[in-house]
């Protein structure tokens, strides 16, 4: 799989420390939609770290699924 693209933006211009966003895999046709979506997280680094953690959990689920499918063969 290719690396995800992170889309992040300030949630509200009057509160510049709140961030919202998500990750997605634009090069992967098998993975669609927003992964690790977050809303109103305080601090850009914390927001991205939260998203990265959710992407990691998603990818671990994909790996578990692939391994269980491979075991069935």
DSSP 21-69: EEEE-TT-TTS-S-EEEEEEEESHHHHHHHHHHHHHHHHHHHHHHHHHH
Q: Name the least confident of 2-11, 14-23, 62-71.
A: 62-71
The residue-averaged pLDDT of 43-72 equals 92
Residue 54 and residue 70 in contact, taking contact as beta carbons nearer than 8 Å: no
Listed residue (17, 9, 21) closest to 55, CA to CA: 21
Residue 31 has pLDDT above 90, yes or no: no
Domain count, the chain: 1
pLDDT at 57: 97
Please report where in the chains the tokens 């491979």 appear, as a residue: 70
pTM given for the model? 0.84
pLDDT at 68: 87
pLDDT at 73: 59
Structural domain boundaries enclosing 36: 5-72
Q: What is the DSSP letter of 15?
A: E
- Percentage of the chain lying above the pLDDT 90 cut: 71
């Amino acid at each position: 799989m290719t690396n995800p693209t992170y889309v992040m933006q300030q949630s509200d211009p009057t509160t510049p420390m709140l961030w919202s966003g998500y990750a997605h895999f634009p090069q992967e046709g098998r993975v669609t939609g927003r992964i690790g979506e977050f809303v109103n997280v305080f601090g850009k680094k914390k927001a991205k770290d939260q998203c990265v953690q959710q992407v990691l959990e998603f990818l671990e689920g994909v790996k578990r699924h692939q391994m269980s499918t491979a075991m069935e063969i």
